[in-house]
Amino acid sequence: MYLCYIVDDETFSIEALEGYINKMPELILLKSFTNPLLALKEIRLGAQPDIVFLDVDMPELSGLAVADLLPESISIVFSTAHAKYALNAFEKDAVDFLLKPYSFETFEKTITKIKRRRNLSDAAQLAKPPIKSIFINPGTKGTVIQIVLSEILYIETKDHLIQIHRK
């Protein structure tokens, strides 16, 4: 499941995008906003979406500025009638740039791209071996000590020194 927000100052664009989102069972629309400032406030205080569909050209705050203020974990999709913003959008690491008006098939391709990106990210996390030990320099030149993390009971600091207590 992917939680979504729409931020667009045109209600007919919001309605069209809501229709596309509702056609896809893996997407849940949390809320739509015509005011980008309210959207940012909601994202900071409310449930965090997986995807934000952003118009670029909006009063008060542009979608490009909003993108800079969103957490990196959120997939950003720009949805605008202005092709001139495409380069700026991808500089913001947007997943996609939908040029209005766009078809449901184009929208589906964007969602497929988001899923693929998420699956690659999940696979990369699974592929990383867990850290089992660390190496520290005890202060003696040329000496390194390996410490197995599961053996650490607790770590204590005193007078700018660190003591690692192990089993």
Q: Count Cβ atoms below 10 Å from residue 109 Cβ, excluding itself.
A: 14
User: Which pLDDT score, from 0 to 100, does residue 124 have?
Assistant: 56
Percent of the chain with pLDDT over 90: 51
Q: Where are the domains of the chain?
A: 2-127, 133-166
Three-state DSSP state, 144: coil
Q: 4 vs 45, which has greater pLDDT?
A: 4
Residue with tokens 């000496």: 143
Whole-model pTM: value is 0.71
Encode pLDDT of 78-131 as tens digits: 999 988 988 888 888 899 999 999 999 999 999 999 998 887 665 555 566 677
Characterize 28-62 residue by residue with b for buried, 16 or more Cβ atoms within 10 angstroms of its Cβ, and e for exposed: bbbbbbbebeebbebbeeeebbbbbbbbbebeeeb
What's the DSSP call for residue 132? -
**Is 80 exceeded by the pLDDT of residue 146?**
yes
CATH fold for the domain made of 2-127: Rossmann fold (3.40.50)
